[in-house]
Amino acid sequence: MLAEISLFVSSVPYKGHPECIKIKNLRIRNTAQRELPRPARMTKCRTSGTLLRMSLRRIIVAFLLSILSIPAAAQNSLRLPATPKTVAWGYYDAAAPPVLTIKSGDTVQFDTLLTNSPKRLESAGVPPAQVEQTLRDIYDQVTNKGPGGHILTGPVFIETAEPGDTLEVRIQKIDLAIPYAYNGFGPGRGFLPEDFPASNIKIIPLDKKKMTAQFAPNIEIPLHPFFGSMGVAPPPSAGRINSAPPGIHAGNMDNKELVAGATLFLPVHTKGALFFIGDGHAGQGNGEVDITAMETSLVGTLQFIVHKGTGQKYPRAETPTHYISMGFDEDLTQATKIAVREMISFLMAEKHLSHEDAYMLTSVAGDVDITQLVDGNKGVHVMLPKNIFK
């Protein structure tokens, strides 16, 4: 695929966006280095000029006339296995030493592990040969744990990322790593602990070819794999935080919309961003009411792109069909208010709607969904379809 360049012709002064280069009345942005999604691309350089979008081949003349060369950044593809030395067990932390350093534009293939012990998986019926050796190694060797329970791969340090920037995470591919998932709950856990005082666990066979889960002999569930936990380090002042509650760092969002093809936009709180990933799910219902989904090990391929000086404050996402805002709080009403306000802010900034129109559009076209009810901070997300914008 050819690299793409955005060219503006305008006499309006242009300030504050280093990704746009001003040449008299021409402004050229090198999207070959940073492939921005449509909303960011259309907004970052929007002014009263005329936007001409063309391939690198067609823009060569403009390069020669302006005597400007903008080199395309080399993009590396790397792999990060999950081992005792490359996981963070139960926490997000700005002080965690990075296990991999990459550049903006690089792609990483992550191995991730389900969060359960080999002994408990075997007692629930998983054949010993199907319990991953890396999971055994991590349970045997990792002693730096907590306060949460998730086994997260990372953190990854992204060069040039600094507080005040946005880390764009493109979820390119997600594959099943093992032929089973589990669902379970324990005493005092889940949304209805008073109704289920005892623990229970179910092993659910996964069919990678059919992409289905056999919940019971007469119940087959389509698979939609995603990572329950993806996030960056919180501000250094927060110290080490529990991996369970989601927050401004994103983390354990448990948002089933974040499948392959989705993009996550995360505010950066510390140098290098420090990205963590894990808590693989083969599928999940909104709410995740018993506290687990179809928990499994996944392999994910993600691309990372740094956007400088955005000032983004809260995580958001988009899919090929929808814009997604999010809200997290111990109180469900407050989480909902955050998600709705985040969508209003997005529409004002990216679609240039008034405060009132953004509120009304969210009411008539947005769907407000409960993401999960069980992670300490409850999650709500607003889904707004892209196809309403012509």
Q: What count of residues does the chain have?
A: 390
SS3 171: strand
Following CA atoms 332, 337, 339, 340 in sequence, which dihedral angle do they give, to the nearest 10 degrees? Answer: 140
Tell me the two tokens of residue 146: 């907590």
Q: Which amino acid is at 228?
A: G
pLDDT value of position 38: 40
Q: What is the mean pLDDT of each run of 10 residues along the chain (390 residues)?
A: 38 41 39 40 38 41 38 76 98 98 98 97 97 98 96 98 98 98 96 96 98 97 98 98 98 98 98 98 98 98 98 98 98 98 98 98 98 98 98
Per-residue DSSP letters for 275-329?
EEEEEEES---TB-TTS--SB--EEEEEEEEEETT----S-EEE-SSEEEEEEEE
Distance of alpha carbon 377 from alpha carbon 328, whole angstroms: 6
pLDDT value of position 30: 41
pLDDT value of position 58: 45
Which of 273, 236, 250 shows the shortest CA–CA distance to 101?
Answer: 273
pLDDT value of position 74: 61
Each residue of 314-337: b (16+ CB within 10 Å) or e? bbbbbbeebbbbbbbbeeeeebbe
pLDDT value of position 383: 98
Task: Find out whether 272 and 291 touch, Cβ atoms under 8 Å.
Answer: no
Pick left, alpha or beta for residue 217 (phi over 0 → left; psi -120 to 50 → alpha; otherwise beta).
alpha
Task: Find out whether 81 and 138 touch, Cβ atoms under 8 Å.
Answer: no
DSSP letter assigned to residue 164: T
pLDDT value of position 75: 86
H or E element, residue 229: strand 226-232
pLDDT value of position 28: 39
pLDDT value of position 347: 98
